[in-house]
C-alpha cells in the first residue's frame, strides 16, 4: 500500500467485509463520517442500530499504542465517564482485515457544543476533571508525551523542507518560527513543571458531542501524556475577558474532582503557538493523501501562507504579553 494513497483499497465493500469478519452483519448502508487522519464510517446493521468503524491510518501507530488508547477509553467508561469506547468483539478491540487495522464503536449522536452558559462549561469541566483523575492513576508506556520538539521544531522543519510557500515568505517564516520557539522554550520548558498524566490530547469542540444528557467525548486517537491545560485551552474562544470567564467556569467544574494548578495558565499561549505550527505541518505531511487537497484546497495558495505568517507574527506578540489570569 503506497504511503501517499493509504486508503486506496478501502472500498465500501471492504468496510462491510471487515465488519462481517468480526460477526457484524451489515445492511449495505455505509456513510463516511468527517475524518482525515483515519477513515471513519457509520455502517447499517441488520435488525440493529448502526455501528461506527474506524480504520487507522496505516503506519501511524504501533498496535501497542492503539491498544493503550482502547484500554484508556475502556477504563474511563468503566468509571461511567461519557467516553465512546471500542466494542470488544471476540475478546479483542483491535482487528485486522485486508491489511487495515480497525475498531468498532457504538453510534452516539449529539450536537456541536456551544458552551454558551456557565452551566455547560462547568459540566464539561467536571468530566475533564474526572478524566484527568483517572488518567493520573495509571500511565502510558507506548503512547507519546506532549512535546515541544514534536509540535514545534519538527513541524517547522517539515514546512521548511518543502516547497510550500512563496519564496518571499520562506525567510520570514523561518525567522518568526525561530523566535516563537525561543519564547516557548522560555515560558513552557518541561511544561513549567506541571503535573503530567494521561489526557485526551486533542480536546477541541469537534471531539465533543452534546445531548440533553450532557457531553460525551469521542476520538481518543491522540491521547498522550501531558499537562491538564492541553485539554482545556482549545475549549476557549473570544477575547481575553471572554476566555477568562470561560476558563473560570471550566476550572470550577474541574476542581470538584481534581485540583488545578494555576501555574498552567502560562501554558495557554505557548500551546496555541505550537498547535498553529503543528497543524500546518500536519497538512504538509498528509498532502499526498488525495483527501487532503480536496478538503483543504486553500493550503496550496499564497494567501494561506501570507495569513499563516501574519498569525504567527501576531502570536509572537501575544507571547510577549502577560499570561491570562483568573
Q: How does pLDDT run across 245-256, given as a tens digit for each residue?
A: 999 999 999 999
What are the CA-CA distances from residue 226 to residues 146, 223, 261 (Å)? 5, 9, 13
Q: Is the pLDDT of residue 132 over 90?
A: yes
In this model, does residue 292 exceed pLDDT 90?
A: yes
pLDDT at 5: 85
Confidence of residue 1 (pLDDT cuts 50, 70, 90): very low
Mean pLDDT value of segment 62-73? 98
- Distance, CA of 74 to CA of 271 (rounded, Å): 28
291-316: average pLDDT: 96
Q: Which of 47, 163, 175, 219 is catalytic?
A: 219
pLDDT > 70? residue 131: yes
What is the DSSP track for 50-76? EEEEEEPPTTTS-HHHHHHHHHHHHHH
Report percent pLDDT > 90 for the chain: 93
What's the rounded mean pLDDT across residues 198-217? 93
Active site residue 219: yes
Alpha-carbon distances of 216 from 124, 199, 209, 230, 283, rounded to whole Å: 9, 15, 5, 18, 27
pLDDT at 109: 84
User: Do 176 and 311 meet the contact criterion of CB atoms below 8 Å apart?
Assistant: no
User: Contact 132/258 with Cβ under 8 angstroms?
Assistant: yes
Q: What integer pLDDT is reported at residue 100 of this predicted model?
A: 97
| Known active-site residue 202 | yes
Every domain of the chain and the residues it spans: 12-106, 118-320
State phi, psi for 137 to the nearest 5 degrees: -80, -5
pLDDT > 80? residue 2 = no
Given the residues 47, 63, 175, 202, select the one marked as catalytic: 202
Distance CA 214, CA 128 (A): 13
CATH class of 12-106: alpha beta
Angle of CA points 248, 208, 20, to nearest 5°: 160
The pLDDT, as a whole number, for residue 3 is 61
Q: Is 171 exposed, middle or buried (0-12, 13-18, 19+ CB in 10 A)?
A: exposed
Task: Write down the pLDDT at residue 34.
Answer: 86
Q: What is the DSSP letter of 263?
A: G
According to CATH, the superfamily of the domain at 118-320 is Transferase(Phosphotransferase) domain 1 (1.10.510.10)
Strand 48-55 versus strand 39-45 pairing type: antiparallel
**126 pLDDT higher than 80:** yes
Amino acid at each position: 500500500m503506497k504511503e501517499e494513497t493509504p486508503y486506496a483499497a478501502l472500498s465500501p465493500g471492504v468496510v462491510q467485509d471487515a465488519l462481517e469478519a468480526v460477526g457484524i452483519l451489515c445492511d449495505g448502508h455505509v456513510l463516511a463520517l468527517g475524518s482525515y487522519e483515519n477513515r471513519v464510517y457509520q455502517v447499517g446493521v441488520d435488525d440493529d442500530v448502526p455501528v461506527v468503524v474506524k480504520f487507522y491510518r496505516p503506519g501511524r501507530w504501533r498496535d501497542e499504542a492503539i491498544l493503550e488508547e482502547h484500554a484508556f477509553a475502556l477504563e474511563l467508561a468503566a468509571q461511567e465517564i461519557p467516553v465512546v469506547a471500542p466494542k470488544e468483539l471476540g475478546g479483542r478491540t483491535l482487528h485486522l482485515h485486508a491489511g487495515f487495522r480497525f475498531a468498532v464503536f457504538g453510534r452516539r449522536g449529539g450536537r456541536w457544543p456551544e458552551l454558551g452558559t456557565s452551566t455547560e462549561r462547568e459540566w464539561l469541566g467536571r468530566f475533564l476533571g474526572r478524566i484527568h483523575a483517572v488518567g493520573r492513576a495509571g500511565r502510558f508506556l507506548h503512547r507519546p508525551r506532549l512535546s515541544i520538539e514534536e509540535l514545534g521544531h519538527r513541524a517547522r522543519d517539515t514546512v521548511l523542507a518543502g516547497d510550500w510557500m512563496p519564496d518571499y515568505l520562506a525567510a520570514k517564516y523561518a525567522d518568526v518560527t525561530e523566535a516563537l520557539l525561543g519564547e516557548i522554550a522560555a515560558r513552557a520548558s518541561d511544561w513549567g513543571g506541571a503535573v503530567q498524566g494521561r489526557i485526551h490530547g486533542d480536546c477541541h469542540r469537534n471531539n465533543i458531542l452534546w445531548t440533553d444528557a450532557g457531553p460525551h467525548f469521542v476520538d481518543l486517537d491522540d491521547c498522550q501524556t501531558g499537562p491538564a491545560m492541553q485539554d482545556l485551552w482549545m475549549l476557549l474562544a473570544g477575547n481575553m475577558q471572554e476566555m477568562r470567564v470561560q476558563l473560570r467556569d471550566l476550572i470550577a467544574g474541574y476542581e470538584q474532582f481534581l485540583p488545578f494548578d494555576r501555574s498552567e495558565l502560562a501554558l495557554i499561549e505557548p500551546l496555541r503557538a505550537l498547535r498553529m505550527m503543528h497543524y500546518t505541518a500536519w497538512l504538509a505531511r498528509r498532502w499526498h493523501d488525495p483527501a487532503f487537497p480536496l478538503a483543504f484546497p486553500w493550503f496550496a495558495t499564497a494567501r494561506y501562507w501570507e495569513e499563516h505568517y501574519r498569525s504567527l507574527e501576531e502570536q509572537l506578540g501575544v507571547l510577549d504579553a502577560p499570561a491570562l489570569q483568573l
